[in-house]
Amino acid sequence: MMATGTMRSLSAAHCKLFNPLRLNAVSCRCLSSNGPGMPPCDFVPGKYESLPYEHVVEVRKKNLSSAISTYYKKPLLLHQGHMQWLFDHEGRRYLDFFGGIVTVSVGHCHPKVTEAAKKQLSRLWHTTNIYLHSPLYEYAEKLTSRLPGKLKVLYLTNSGSEANDLALYMARLYTGNYDIISLRSGYHGASPYALGVTALSAYKPGVANGLGCLTTMCPDVFRGIWGGSHCRDSPVQTTRTCSCSPDSCEAKDRYIEQLKETLETSAAKRIAGFIAEPIMGVGGVIQYPKGFLKAAYELIRERGGLCIADEVQTGFGRTGSHYWGFQTHEVMPDIVTMAKGIGNGFPMAAVVTTEEIDSFFARTLHFNTFGGNPMACTIGSAVLDVIEEDGLQDNCMTIGNHLLMELSKLRNKFEIVGDVRGKGLMIGVEMVTDKKTRRPLPADELNMIWEYCKDYGVLFGKGGLYNNTFRIKPPMCIRKEDADFAVAVLEAALNTYLKRDA
């Protein structure tokens, strides 16, 4: 792992490289002076000189679809980003602990990634893969070398939804079967195929979509029917009593029985596949009992199905101990999908599979105009280099463990902090009305705490079936002082929330 001092020096170097507007710079400040002290940042953003805030809001209401939602009562107008920091139009600085929805992997405007993009932009913006261009082949070789076993055949797309659509299509073509199984509370995208395996009602349009998709019980050891204090692959376990013997997990066995029942009652005798995230993202950072995914894969393969690992949020070292989330479960998927952090914010995604499965896919014509374009491949290649050169996987493990343990102290201190869970820098904090009933804290109540956190200078995500979980997935370059600041801000926000009526 890169030493903290080195990270500081690297940050200072980034500031010098990416501050061409220093003479016109505005001061960086937090929205509220009542919160914890924000860690220093040498970077000074350029002065905002674009559309006035009021005009932006007016255009949004008039010209953008109302289906596009924003965060916060007064949405942020963001102007500039630097590593783990974001700056709004008035120069206020925020610690980004959601990473553009788990998409900014190596840091906002990382100098190496930005420089690679500039060079490619001046050379060749776009050509489709009907022609040869070296960035595609350099990237394909580099990415597949980071995947184990026979996972060596790559198809590039533009988004995670599109990648999951394609993975389901591949599974059906290869097996000749139709039924796909997914986990309740899981999210895999909002495009036609992906909507079928997404099992959160908020995303369901109420019209036909994703036919042939079935769901099974979510193996949630905190809120689910079964769970104990030794179930998760995490430094922080639930406070539920565990009565399992040393070599068994009752929760895992019970949830597998639910999957068996789904297969025996709702699915055809031969199925196409099973898709699951190694750790649920939008569903609330849910971790399954240890051994669940391994046993689930065995059941699916007995029915002729393929196993798909959705690594859109867990991939590229974010879980810390491994480069891919599925490796933490000791499984080997047949197809892997990835997006978000793959391009550090640039729109790109990928499906990786075996030669055998791809040979069936190749029997039909499938074409993607932008998939694998020179810009995407150049940026993706730079991201892979930075993850290795900056020691970001190790950083996820070290800072993630520290962050989890510090957040667990808030769980011990506050009755409304029901659960802290996760691995590496993929963390969830689930809020409840009380620990005994585990009743979800109403979403509007959580939103109050979330707004306070923003006012104190930290941007958290939120999610879960009841929208009562803070999703903590920052850029992988964060430092210990950033983690400590985020915890202090959450604690201050909780105190403010609890004292609001006093």
| Rounded percentage of the chain residues whose pLDDT exceeds 90 | 85
Identify the burial level of 124 via C-beta atoms within 10 angstroms of its C-beta, where 0-12 means exposed, 13-18 middle and 19 or more buried: middle
pLDDT at 34: 75
Name the token pair of 393: 């996987």
Based on the fold, state whether residues 416 and 321 are members of the same structural domain.
no
Based on the fold, state whether residues 416 and 493 are members of the same structural domain.
yes
**Section 262-285 average pLDDT:** 98
Residue range 234-258, pLDDT digits in tens = 999 999 988 787 778 899 999 999 9
Mean pLDDT of the chain: 92
pTM strictly above 0.75: yes
CATH number at residue 271: 3.40.640.10
Contact call for residues 379 and 113 (beta carbons, < 8 A) = yes
Residue 124 lies in a domain: no
Domain membership of residue 281 as a residue range: 162-338
Q: Are strands 349-353 and 335-338 parallel, antiparallel or unpaired?
A: antiparallel
CATH number at residue 44: 3.90.1150.10
pLDDT at 32: 56
Instruction: Read off the pLDDT band of 208 (50, 70, 90).
Output: confident
**Section 98-106 average pLDDT:** 97
CA distance 73 to 355: 50
| CA of residue 356 relative to chain centroid, distance | 29
pLDDT at 256: 98
Residue range 388-404, pLDDT digits in tens = 999 999 999 999 999 99
**Stretch (H or E) spanning 348:** none
pLDDT at 467: 96
Question: How many C-beta atoms lie closer than 10 Å to residue 257's C-beta?
Answer: 12
Based on the fold, state whether residues 80 and 177 are members of the same structural domain.
no
CA distance 383 to 112: 8
Based on the fold, state whether residues 411 and 486 are members of the same structural domain.
yes
Residue 68 lies in a domain: yes
pLDDT at 209: 82
**Section 265-269 average pLDDT:** 97
Contact call for residues 162 and 349 (beta carbons, < 8 A) = yes
pLDDT at 164: 97
CA distance 242 to 228: 4
CA distance 124 to 135: 10
Give the total number of structural domains in the chain. 2
* Residue that is last in its domain, among 298, 319, 338: 338
Contact call for residues 225 and 308 (beta carbons, < 8 A) = no
Q: Residue 286 pLDDT > 90, yes or no? A: yes
* Residue that is last in its domain, among 318, 338, 358: 338
CA-nearest of 284, 279, 233 to 428 is 284
CA distance 384 to 145: 11
Distances (CA, A) of 35 to 31, 458, 484: 9, 10, 13
Contact call for residues 428 and 462 (beta carbons, < 8 A) = no
Residue 400 lies in a domain: yes
- The alpha carbon torsion through 88, 380, 164, 277 (nearest 10 deg) reads -80
pLDDT at 1: 35
